[in-house]
Structure 1
């Protein structure tokens, strides 16, 4: 067995528990800092305590999927997603999807299969719930995220734009 395979199989993904709120708050700081640096008018600076409180609420919702990735005894990444179902209407068909809100991996654990394991677990959860789609968005400044998602089979299907009003 080659070393790359050993590293990937060492990643364990599990469901989040209320007791994980603090570690989620800490890990969120990685992604939050990236966003607040790039878009300070849109995103707040990281606040681990406020994020932990937010995650406590999310962890209690049946429509939320919160997955944690571990290497050994350490949580090194997480993914949050929301089950969304839309009824048909005059404009669109009914559909259900698992919408990925957050994906974060500790810098020390990147390129070790953590993100891949979290995405695979999210896809498995979507299937378990009878959903046919995984969807997500990412900010245009986050080119690494765009490459990662494309490498994992995601294609652009909707372009959002903005214009500031002065």
Structure 2
């Protein structure tokens, strides 16, 4: 991939621990700021990064979800949240799938392969726990994420439509 760092320079991808929460909160706040800028009617405005600490901590403590981080010797440079979902609605076939809840990469390390590495770790984690597929949602304004998911082989299966004040993006 053009611009990618050599493998020996690639930050390590591992499951997050409570020690990583401050960095995950900061990266998550940056992702939220992008979403708020695009759709302020839906996404909360910026706040201190620790506002969402309990949100991220739940994934780390869960038996059915986790957060992967890409980290070098000093810093967490990206994260991806993955969880297991059991589809059991009477109109649908029963299915266990992995759901990517959020992914964020430090701006200084975007387009270097970290998103791809985090996605692969999340996919492997979910598949090892019996997930038959991986699903995610992405907002139409997030062209960088849409491009990454397309490169990884993800295809649009559902288009969500809306009307009113929240339908403009």
Normalising by structure 2, we get a TM-score of 0.89
Moved over 4 A (4+): none
- Equivalent residue, structure 2, for 1:39: 39
Counterpart in 2 of 1:6? 6
CA distance in 1, matches of 2:87, 2:132: 13
Mean CA deviation greater in 35-44 or 9-18: 9-18
User: Measured at CA, do residues 5 and 39 of structure 1 come closer, stay the same or move farther in structure 2, by a change above 3 Å?
Assistant: closer
Cα deviation, residue 63, structure 1: 1.2
Q: Distance in 2 between matches of 1:135 and 1:127?
A: 12
Q: Distance in 2 between matches of 1:33 and 1:144?
A: 15
* Rounded Cα–Cα distance in structure 1 between residues aligned with 2:8 and 2:88: 39
Instruction: Kindly tell me the number of residue pairs found equivalent between the two proteins.
Output: 163
Q: Which runs of 5+ in 1 are unaligned?
A: none
Q: Distance in 1 between matches of 2:8 and 2:101?
A: 23
| SS in structure 2 of the partner of residue 112 of structure 1 | coil
In structure 1, C-alpha distance between the alignment counterparts of 2:50 and 2:105, rounded to whole Å:
19
Residue in 1 that maps onto 2:131: 131
Extract unaligned runs of 5+ from structure 2.
Answer: none
1:136 Cα shift?
Answer: 0.3
- 1:70 Cα deviation (Å)? 1.2
Hey, what does 1:49 align to over in structure 2? Answer: 50
Question: Given the superposition, is the C-alpha separation of residues 7 and 71 from structure 1 closer, same or farther in structure 2, using an over 3 Å criterion?
Answer: farther
